[in-house]
Structure 1
């Protein structure tokens, strides 16, 4: 009984993780990933739907029956790392009242400088653009961003499937602007870093395009 409960929890977490990383999917798509039956996946999805973690929509596929596609709800963010967002938002509001916008900007700048120094230290042994992008993805994953480095015909993509500081970033847009600048410095002058998708703009994830010069 304990083993079954553990297995169910693990599979449930895998479903959540896959929906977070890959976006909307059918029960059949999810079942293929985990080598289980679609019905086994649906049981988890129905339970999570009752909890408000997932929702579904019917999509027309040819002339057949509509396909039920599952996606995470906004409430699902509570099951992923949040980096103490309530505390962070409160602190940002307090600092803004005490020091004003300029003071808050200086605090963000100082935070960015510490973050950049840490990143440079951890990437000091990388020798190629590929090494730097993959190492940066590992660092960001360690920080809760569920990041991955992918290569396509145009170059590299740094994809962050989760934002553990989303609420704080909404309260202080400078945090996101600061991160993009840090990524550019970390990647170096031999490549250009641009943001293609942005969670705060309504995208499912943040995506950074890295093109070698």
Structure 2
């Protein structure tokens, strides 16, 4: 991550800037977080966390939001969470978004339209997927999603895996190409396709950061015994809707999730 803002020499000498970057990185890896969450994860006092958060807010790296409440609201003021701003996300990458968008636009106009962009996206993710494939194939069937999450994290996606009703969710808290994917969702679609092949089952993209969601969420349904070997993986577009997107500050509504699940195109 690039250091954000100017820091006096005495701050650098005492490690203040390093700790501040750890706070921002923890929010990147785990999503919007309370002061108590950050203090527990980083082994800091809540007072120290608040001091670093004040500096990060001043540098426009993080912003305070009201925590979303699911289910019945309890008494008292909702807890405050801190989330990365767009500038804060950008600070973790030295990206060449403008150049990438211009290159894809040239491909689209001069080398075959949307089909050419889709072919580029598939070729790009195939090259990345070699490391992912090795990680997934070395894991047992019950650990494949977790293994894929770890491999994605090594590539900067800050991914986690969690259990969900009738399956699992792959949650990517960061996307290094988000600004390009906002204009070219073929990047997200190719990624979803490769996840399906790596995990040996139909998967379903429920949310993407490029589409304005807080987390990229991919639902991986349970594969019935013997279905994978027979090439008969379940289609989650059948009876019932898949579970909602990974918990974030911008959850999808039931109607938008259902809409995404039935659309032929990923929601990015």
Quote the residue 2:161 is aligned against.
149
Within 5 A, what are the aligned runs for 1:73-112?
73-81=85-93, 83-101=95-113, 102-112=115-125
Alpha-carbon separation, structure 2, partners of 1:67 and 1:132: 35
Within 5 A, what are the aligned runs for 1:43-62?
43-57=51-65
- Kindly provide the CA deviation profile for residues 158-183 of structure 1, in whole angstroms up to 9, marking residues without a partner as x: 11110001112122111111111111
Quote the residue 2:213 is aligned against.
203
Gaps of 5+ in 2: 1-9, 224-268
RMSD, matched Cα = 2.8
Quote the residue 1:212 is aligned against.
222
Structure 1 position 144, deviation (Å)? 1.2
Q: What's the secondary structure of 2:111's corresponding residue?
A: helix
1:44–1:99 distance in 2 versus 1, CA, 3 Å: same
TM-score by length of 1: 0.82
Gaps of 5+ in 1: none
- The answer as to whether partners of 1:82 and 1:164 remain within 8 angstroms in 2 is no
Quote the residue 2:14 is aligned against.
5
Q: What's the secondary structure of 2:174's corresponding residue?
A: coil
TM-score by length of 2: 0.67
- The alignment covers a number of residue pairs equal to 209
